[in-house]
Amino acid sequence: MTFELLRREFYSAPAIDVARGLLGCVLDYKGLGGRIVEVEAYLGEGDEAAHSFRGVTPRTRVIFGPPGHAYVYLNYGIHYCLNVVVEPEGRAGCVLIRAVKGIGDGPGKLTRALGITRELNGCDLVHGPLTIHRGRPPREIAVTPRIGIRKSADLPLRFLAVD
């Protein structure tokens, strides 16, 4: 079964809209992946937990770049986290992919299972090799505060597919 590749316009929307829209989509890396079932939005303004909160740095430059690119970073020096850059170019925003059904139920487990490393930082999700395709939207979306953060922790920006 072939799924339609998400276009750049999809990623040009506000982080919360893209986060909700990614649920049910299919993440693919070298033929591995699956249905996205958990994400967290990170906002460009007023979100102290966002890496982009303090502005453009060498590390965050990709977040301020064109939408539809991967932002991959090493978390706690242990595991990589995969984020999708969203919002129009020049405005920060990203969505952390937390879980893919049958692959990993946490961002570190997910990237480890798929072999995603910092080498994919800045990868264009529209042209690959890491891509996201339309899938089956969830029946319902659960919303909770994000987990594993201290700043802006009360914001309801974690979204889970409920099937």
pLDDT tens sequence across 121-155: 999 999 989 999 999 999 999 998 888 788 878 77
Question: Is there a domain that residue 76 lies in?
Answer: yes
Which residues, in sequence order, are CB contacts of 82 under 8 Å at separation 6+? 70, 71, 72, 96, 97, 107, 110, 111, 116, 120
DSSP annotation of 13: S
The CATH number linked to 30 is 3.10.300.10
Question: Is there a domain that residue 125 lies in?
Answer: yes
Contact 65, 85 (CB under 8 A): yes
Q: Which mean pLDDT values do the consecutive 10-residue runs of the chain (163 residues) have?
A: 86 97 96 95 79 79 94 89 94 95 89 95 95 95 85 85 92
User: Whole-prediction pTM value?
Assistant: 0.92
Q: Which domain holds residue 68?
A: 8-162
Cα–Cα distance for residue pair 103/144, rounded to 1 Å: 22
Question: Is there a domain that residue 3 lies in?
Answer: no
Question: Is there a domain that residue 109 lies in?
Answer: yes
Cα–Cα distance for residue pair 87/41, rounded to 1 Å: 11
Domain count for the chain: 1
Closest to 157 (Cα-Cα) out of 108, 95, 104, 106: 95
Residue whose pair of structure tokens reads 């965050």 in the numeric block: 60
Question: Is there a domain that residue 83 lies in?
Answer: yes
Question: Is there a domain that residue 2 lies in?
Answer: no
Question: Is there a domain that residue 57 lies in?
Answer: yes
Q: What is the pLDDT of residue 93?
A: 94
Reported as half-sphere exposure (CB side, CA atoms, 13 A), residue 99 has a value of 12
